[in-house]
Structure 1
């Protein structure tokens, strides 16, 4: 009996050791797997709407262990547009950022702002993993096949009123991650600017307002003020699609590169994807670059017109999807656009056709 008990105890010990080793191996494998799936290299940029320039004072990104990833790029004044990434200045990382700290000056408002906030890491990781399809650089049988890729830029956009929007972008694709709120903060101009010329704080702001803003923007702000809230309006989403109505029924949209006023961008590469005619929930379009069978064009939209038309149609036809109809003239010398919802059509008048190519 004692031998049997001893043998039983030995077997239990051996089994426990085996179980412990197995669990450790699984944990190690799982950890390796997680590490492989949570490292995505990216650059960090800061951007701002056109005519509302900002400049970084200081800031950084941290990971889940509160370890420093990188500084926010100090690349001078940024204000190239809400739809574009700012200048790359050698800052970036590969660990998923969990926390953002950024202090910057908004020259149009004559204020410093700061934002110190956690980031939606699950959303960031999800979008990195999801990625997008893009045309490959290596040709196969004379063509560039569609390949899968992911984002390579982490952009922090700063709009008037302390509006902060985070995007991931890369190769004709850009997705919004979150919206944060910065608050006004005092930063001595001598701590920010090395050559303040002994100006007062107010004198510094007044001079930089004149230097950094175009004359037309200065006059617009002096006369009408800053349109606070506009960039949150841009984030409103509607369900719509682009529809081609050609005079030749054989023509189709092969690809479509669309930028949106909320800063996002989507490149629809596959004709069969577009042929499905699916509606997508998106902000109002900033531009569309459709490629047809023989021709391609670029069309810019007016933000006020698109918001007005979309909201009018949605008030009359709640929750119904809309079509942006593109009608080419003969030989594609021009295009007529309108928005349709159910049986109602509103012509667009303020868009601009930048050009028509091909033939």
Structure 2
């Protein structure tokens, strides 16, 4: 009898652990806004090298580096172990392919870690925090064959890995029905004009494609946001932060923010902090943030930095600067999109 009980418990434990390795997700493909791509073919495979799903063929992908692509009914529940993807990069006039194993432990760790979100049901007049996890697996393709994988869901997005695609030849007749009977170069030239925004076309002709930019976005710095209110009573209650490397985190717990802990993260793209009475939306300039952060780090190696937020009287505007030890550099290229509340 004892052996039966032990066997039953082990079986239940096995299935409990097994359940934690299955997470339902959709699959999307994205690209920087001015550098669109389109899927030719691809798929995800599991640990047995069995097909999970195809990569979504949802037309031109240009939703932006910080956002997921269009959903086209592709997804799975098994942890993906391998990615194969071939796509056309219209701004570069090239096809790329990536065929690589994925960091399974990292994917599983992030799925299990998840994040907190506001629940749907009120309790004593408030929406309590509930635990949730990611529901989207996104493959981002940037110039130079840079491929980045993220998991995302409900104001949270985490980078899984960075892969390198290689240029490959794909006959245009295999890619799409070539009604106009274009050759390879004619196909690339015509779709460069169709898919790439005119302003981006001009910049590419004048300055070329900024290869390496998306890897620069992936550099991490140790910093935090610090509010310096004029009445010394206000605090940051929540903060929705997007980063230039495509990640996002929604800090919902005031006690978590009150700790003032430093995070190792990419440069910020935007913040939406909520204070006691007001909230705002601030956009950062990528080149300014990279320049300021790198300048301070070169003069103060390995020292953490503070992004200081100073509201003007009655919160009509905000002044921002970056501080490292005793040095402060004012920021000038950020944009305050608005201030609400009061």
TM over 0.5: yes
Residue 148 (str. 1) matches residue 127 (str. 2): no
SS in 1 for 2:177: coil
Residue 28 of structure 1 deviates from its aligned partner by 3.5
Q: Deviations over 1:191-243 (max 9, x none)?
A: 11213411110000000000001110000000000011110110000000000
CA distance in 2, matches of 1:138, 1:111: 50
Query: What is the match of residue 305 of structure 2?
Result: 322
Query: What is the match of residue 200 of structure 2?
Result: 217
5 Å-filtered alignment, 1:80-91, equals 80-91=63-74
Residue 75 (str. 1) matches residue 42 (str. 2): no
SS in 2 for 1:353: strand
Query: What is the match of residue 163 of structure 1?
Result: 146
Which one of the candidate residues 263, 267, 271 is aligned to 1:284? 267
Which one of the candidate residues 222, 239, 242 is aligned to 1:256? 239
CA distance in 1, matches of 2:179, 2:18: 47
CA distance in 2, matches of 1:85, 1:186: 27
Residue 330 of structure 1 deviates from its aligned partner by 1.1
SS in 2 for 1:171: coil
CA distance in 1, matches of 2:178, 2:166: 26
Query: What is the match of residue 94 of structure 2?
Result: 111
Shift in alpha-carbon separation, 1:112–1:24, aligned structure 2, 3 A: farther
Query: What is the match of residue 155 of structure 2?
Result: 172
Query: What is the match of residue 189 of structure 2?
Result: 206
Query: What is the match of residue 5 of structure 1?
Result: none
CA distance in 2, matches of 1:196, 1:312: 54
SS in 2 for 1:57: strand
Larger radius of gyration: 1
Q: CA RMSD in A?
A: 1.4
Alpha-carbon contact 1:135-1:147 (below 8 Å) kept: yes
SS in 1 for 2:273: strand
Q: Deviations over 1:225-262 (max 9, x none)?
A: 00111101100000000001111211110000000000
CA distance in 2, matches of 1:76, 1:198: 20
Which one of the candidate residues 264, 269, 272 is aligned to 2:252? 269
Q: Deviations over 1:150-188 (max 9, x none)?
A: 000000000000000000000000000000000011111
Structure 2: gaps (5+ residues): none
Query: Structure 1 stretch 136-145 or stretch 164-173: which is displaced more?
Result: 136-145
SS in 1 for 2:111: helix
Shift in alpha-carbon separation, 1:40–1:71, aligned structure 2, 3 A: same
Structure 1: gaps (5+ residues): 1-14
Query: What is the match of residue 47 of structure 2?
Result: 64
Residue 33 of structure 1 deviates from its aligned partner by 2.3
Alpha-carbon contact 1:196-1:204 (below 8 Å) kept: no
Alpha-carbon contact 2:30-2:140 (below 8 Å) kept: yes
Alpha-carbon contact 1:190-1:196 (below 8 Å) kept: no
Query: Structure 1 stretch 247-256 or stretch 193-202: which is displaced more?
Result: 193-202
Alpha-carbon contact 2:281-2:339 (below 8 Å) kept: yes
Query: Structure 1 stretch 147-156 or stretch 27-36: which is displaced more?
Result: 27-36
Q: Deviations over 1:19-57 (max 9, x none)?
A: 7x7886566334312321101000100010110000111
SS in 2 for 1:60: strand
Residue 48 (str. 1) matches residue 57 (str. 2): no
Query: What is the match of residue 189 of structure 1?
Result: 172
CA distance in 2, matches of 1:333, 1:192: 53
Query: Structure 1 stretch 338-347 or stretch 195-204: which is displaced more?
Result: 195-204
Q: How many residues align?
A: 342
CA distance in 2, matches of 1:42, 1:239: 31
Shift in alpha-carbon separation, 1:347–1:196, aligned structure 2, 3 A: farther
CA distance in 2, matches of 1:93, 1:248: 52
